[in-house]
Homo-oligomer: A and B are copies of this chain.
Amino acid sequence: MSVPSTVASLIQANAAALDALDFDGWLAGFTEYAQYHITTAENQRQGLPLGLLHALTKDQLRDRIASISTVNVYEPHRYRHVLSQTWIKGQGLEMQFITPFAVYRITETKPTILFATGEYQDRVEYAHDGVRFMHRTVVLDNDIIDTLLAIPL
């Protein structure tokens, strides 16, 4: 089975929304009861529940986004996602869309740096008005994250 173009578009446009700091556009890619997790490969391998960010509904993602604009203090920055080709892992109910990525961190007065590498593990839902994430796990390759993870990945 090949990756549907609607799913590929969802994945790329969602990353581009983050890169443009368009958080409403980013949120629009999730269903109301979507789960979103950020964890590390080592945590996932060990089956540890604790990760860097857990949202069990879209409202929790909205709270996270609100806190970026109103509460958190951090150095202004944005990301650039470069996504590898999406591929399909597993079958039936176990099926996931896997998209490896590199994310770069851009600040105004410093050189751009590699921020993180990892992969998206996505399950999606098809509705009459489009396809959305119902379960996204962001698995980071390295346990060392050298700055506050302010913007979701």
A interface residues, Cβ below 8 angstroms from B: 2-3, 5-6, 8-9, 11-13, 15-16, 19, 42, 78, 80-89, 98, 100-102, 104, 106, 108-112, 114, 116-119, 141-144, 146
Contact A84 B81 (CB under 8 A): yes
Interface of chain A, helix or strand or loop or mixed?
Answer: mixed
Name the CB-closest residue of B to A143. B108
Q: Are B9 and A98 in contact (CB-based, < 8 A)? A: no
Give 11 A-B pairs besides A104-B117, A108-B143 with Cβ atoms closer than 8 angstroms: A2-B9, A3-B5, A11-B85, A80-B102, A80-B118, A80-B141, A81-B100, A82-B83, A82-B100, A83-B100, A104-B141
- Given the interface pairs A104-B141, A117-B104, A146-B111, the reply to whether A83 lies near B81 with Cβ below 8 Å is no
> What is the oligomeric copy number?
3
Chain B residues contacting A114 (CB-CB under 8 Å) are 104, 112, 114
Q: List 18 A-B contacts (CB under 8 A).
A: A2-B5, A2-B6, A11-B85, A13-B87, A16-B87, A16-B98, A80-B102, A80-B117, A82-B84, A102-B104, A104-B117, A106-B142, A109-B144, A111-B144, A112-B116, A112-B117, A112-B141, A114-B114
